[in-house]
Amino acid sequence: MNWGDDAQAVFLTLKLAFVVTVLLLAFGTPLAWWLAHTRSRWKAPLSALVALPLVLPPTVLGFYLLMLMGPHGVVGRATQALGIGLLPFSFTGLVVASMLYSLPFVVQPIQTAFEAIGARPLEAAATLRAGPWERFVHVALPLARRGVITAAVLGFAHTVGEFGVVLMIGGNIPGATRVISTQLYNHVEAIEYPEAHRLAALLLVFSFAVLLGIHRLRPQGALVAAPNDGAPRA
């Protein structure tokens, strides 16, 4: 193995993390809004389902996804009928699995941010004849921006560090599904410790930088908007 193999794994990892983060923000933000405001009896079960990857071993999630998306699974039969083919051991399959595994890291910070806004800013916007969409886009999202940024950073970082799920769903195909974590595993398995140190150090520095960046949001105020007046805390 050489620098080219590592660079290829790094590029694929960054590509996967970017795609997953964008899709999770697009899907998770409306879901977080609904969870923050609904009184439906389905809120608790859905919240538990969203948070499930936090406590479920990634290999368990990967196994059931493999069964669902395999040739005899419900999703696998559907994708084959649509002419898409099978998702396991493909980049698309990695995206789907990574989205499910990183879902709580995106939904929960945004939900917390929405809940912290309170009703007063939205009610004030409603008195100015702002519709639901205008209140969401021009009031809620700006006030919850720190929660959204935190969610994006955590979702991206969590996807970069995945191993169990990507190995179960994507395997270890060079240039297609081999990401940094699996490349690191390959180096260790081949007793290539200098190369393993190189990738491990890269992930260590990246993880520290992510946590430091999130922490640096705090001195300017809370990661979410203040509940009392809808303005960020000073």
Structural domains of the chain ordered from first start:
3-220 (1.10.3720.10)
Please tell me the pTM assigned to this model.
Answer: 0.85
Asked if 192 and 132 count as a contact pair (C-beta separation under 8 A), the reply is no
Tokens in use for 169?
């769903």
Alpha-carbon distance 218 to 6, whole Å? 35
**Unique residue bearing structure tokens 């929960």:** 108
Alpha-carbon distance 228 to 207, whole Å? 33
Q: Dihedral sign, CA of 165, 206, 107, 136?
A: negative
Full pLDDT tens readout for the chain, 234 residues:
567 888 999 999 999 999 999 999 999 999 999 999 998 999 999 999 999 999 999 999 999 999 999 999 999 999 999 988 899 999 999 999 999 999 999 999 999 999 998 888 888 887 877 788 888 888 889 999 999 999 999 999 999 988 989 999 998 888 889 999 999 999 999 999 999 999 999 999 998 988 888 887 664 444 333 334 444 433
Report the helix count and the strand count for the chain, using DSSP H and E: 12, 0
Measured from the Cβ of residue 17, the count of other Cβ atoms closer than 10 Å reads: 22
